[in-house]
Amino acid sequence: MASERLNRGHAYRDRVGPADAGALTSALYAARYPHSSAAVWLQRLAAGEVCRNGQQLRADGPLAAGDDLIWHRPPWHEAAVPELPGPLFDDGDLLVFDKPSGLPVLPAGGFLEHTLLAQLRLRWPAARPVHRLGRFTSGLLVCARSRAGRAWLSALLRESSSPLAARSGPCRKTYRALLQPPVPASPLWALKPGDCLELATPIGQSPHRRLGSIWAAAPTGDPTALAALSALRLLERGEGSWLVEVAIATGRPHQIRIHTAAASAPLLGDPLYLAGGAVSDKALPGDGGYHLHAHQLRLPCPAGGLLELEAPLPEALRGAADG
């Protein structure tokens, strides 16, 4: 476990576009980083944390198109996170890990140095993640050392060329999850153990009070929405939760969380994605409470051959048949 500690701070760089010319510095920052109000940005200006074109600012003022801004965020405490275990697979380029729940993959949500990426750089310097898993999603995470390998695998994991019906396709990503029992109006309500249901709600950007926008179920007719496909199979139907297996044919952000919530059966304990597809303004994507595990992976390797791996199931996601 990497213990809580103070990091080294970070420099956030921004450039002023023509549309923002004349805007006050505090207003521009409040618009681009809505987690902080204009009043908070005024305090940061007064503390000397912001530079414009290499000069430290001490007061608010209008900006010009082309101005370069840097916010020097002071060091902050990062919460403790789990250590990344050794790889389940390593062929010299491709590595696959069983990521523990609670470990962020990339810097975000208050994490800069306590990430899987930072741990990779220390122990496997050339390796980089090919895709993301949410902080509290555990299981199989693919990394690669070469740029060509990362590009090839990223495209494959993002958008499988196989339709959902073709279960024997070359790339398959299977997850286990606990769902909140659906309401009778949900398309999941009539499922019995062993039954399957295809989920195809498009995913797009939705307004969020704290972040500005967030990935969520897209409204009907949204031309910018991304197609997304998941195949859900009910494993066990309990009074307090349903155990499901979900195979995804696309790799959209938070796809399983969004799809099950849109079907009125959110992941049990998910504070962000609510039944019916709405999102909570009080929660953030990195907030935990749910159980989601990347359990199995079938993946063609860039050099040829087929890789099939399985990450052991956490106790909460073991069904009766799993022992």
- What CATH number is attached to the domain comprising 277? 3.30.2350.10
Give the strand pairing for 137-144 and 128-129: antiparallel
Instruction: Show which of 36, 57, 77 is a domain's final residue.
Output: 77
- Residue 163 is predicted with a pLDDT of 41
Instruction: Show which of 77, 111, 133 is a domain's final residue.
Output: 77
Residue range 193-215, pLDDT digits in tens? 999 999 999 999 999 988 889 99
- Residue 146 is predicted with a pLDDT of 93
Angle between helices 38-46 and 25-32 (to 10 degrees): 120
Is residue 41 domain-resident? yes
CB 192 within 8 A of CB 233: no
- CA 148 centroid distance within chain: 23
Amino acid at 157: L
Q: How many domains does the chain have?
A: 2
For residues 72 and 177, membership in a common domain is answered with no
- Residue 160 is predicted with a pLDDT of 55
Reading the block at residue 181, the tokens are 């029992």
Is residue 154 domain-resident? no
Is residue 116 domain-resident? no
- Confidence bin at 164 (pLDDT 50/70/90): very low
117 to 87, 113, 122, 228, 279: CA distances (angstroms): 14, 8, 9, 27, 28
User: What pTM, to 2 d.p., does this model score?
Assistant: 0.88
Is residue 320 domain-resident? no
Return the CATH number at 69: 3.10.290.10
Is residue 92 domain-resident? no
The helix/strand/coil state of 130 is coil
Is residue 87 domain-resident? no
How much is the mean pLDDT over the chain? 92
Q: Mean pLDDT over residues 269-290, rounded? A: 95
Instruction: Show which of 77, 98, 124 is a domain's final residue.
Output: 77
Residue range 70-94, pLDDT digits in tens? 999 999 999 999 999 999 999 999 9
Is residue 210 domain-resident? yes
Residue range 284-298, pLDDT digits in tens? 999 999 999 999 999
For residues 177 and 280, membership in a common domain is answered with yes
Domain region containing 193 = 169-290
For the chain, percent of residues with pLDDT exceeding 70 = 96
Q: Mean pLDDT over residues 165-181, rounded? A: 76
The strand pairing partners of 84, in sequence order, are: none
- Residue 171 is predicted with a pLDDT of 80
What ranges in 33-146 are assigned the alpha helix state H? Answer: 38-46, 116-123
